[in-house]
Amino acid sequence: MEILNIVSVIIQIILFITVIIVVMTLIKYVKMLMVKVDVLEDDFSKFKARVEPMIDDTRTLIQKLNKISDKVDDSYKYVASMIEKVKDTVDDVIDFKDRIIRKAEPPIFDTISAFAAIVKGVKTFSDTMHRNKPVRKSYIHEDDNLLFDDNGDAEFELERQYDDINKELNEVRKKLEEMKKV
């Protein structure tokens, strides 16, 4: 028993020494770990010092981008409202033009019809007068210094007026056709 006691004490001493060696080794590793943590902390501080200005610049950039996007949104809303107003104005102008055409066409056509009837009446009257006109004998005038010849002046003047009226009617008809196309 005594031997067992001695062996037990020796084992305890060996275990004690082993525990002391393990603790010393652990302390050494902890010191090495602490050194590495300090180095890592220094590196992190340096990294933080470099990153902070970049983060501040990024915040400033984001604020500027937000302001720009707000201005773009406002501008877009303004442009969209202007386009809507222009569209409404164009629609109003087209409606106004259509109303004018609807209101102006009947009186214009009535006027043209009346004008055409007058022209036809004048032409018919002229043709009737021309057919019913007695044949005139031509008299030789002794006075050769006359400026105007009495033969056919009235008829020539009437035909010229008739041609002028036809030209005006053709111009009116062309303008009306152009208005119908619009």
Kindly state whether residue 151 falls inside one of the protein's structural domains: no
CB crowding 28-66: b at 16 or more within 10 Å, else e: eeeeeeeeeeeeeeeeeeeeeeeeeeeeeeeeeeeeeee
Kindly state whether residue 139 falls inside one of the protein's structural domains: no
pTM of the full structure:
0.36
pLDDT digits (tens, 9 = 90+) for 85-106: 999 988 888 888 888 878 877 8
Kindly state whether residue 137 falls inside one of the protein's structural domains: no
Question: Between residues 153 and 40, which one has the greater pLDDT?
Answer: 40
Inter-residue contact 169 to 119 (CB < 8 Å): yes
Kindly state whether residue 176 falls inside one of the protein's structural domains: yes
The total domain count for the chain is 1
Maximum CA pair distance of the chain? 192
pLDDT digits (tens, 9 = 90+) for 7-55: 999 999 999 999 999 999 999 999 999 999 999 999 999 998 888 989 9
Cα 140–Cα 142–Cα 143 angle in degrees, nearest 5: 120
Average pLDDT, the chain: 81
Kindly state whether residue 146 falls inside one of the protein's structural domains: no
> What pLDDT does residue 158 have?
67
Which amino acid, one-letter code, is at 163?
D
Per the structure, the complete domain to which residue 39 belongs is given by: 2-131+158-181
Kindly state whether residue 39 falls inside one of the protein's structural domains: yes
Kindly state whether residue 144 falls inside one of the protein's structural domains: no
Quote the CA–CA distance of 162 and 128 in Å, as a whole number.
15
Q: Select, from the ranges 37-41, 122-126, 128-132, 136-140, the one with the highest average predicted confidence (pLDDT).
A: 37-41
Backbone conformation region of residue 152, classed left if phi is above 0, alpha if psi is from -120 to 50, else beta: left
- Report how far Cα 102 is from the mean position of its chain's Cα atoms: 31
Kindly state whether residue 49 falls inside one of the protein's structural domains: yes
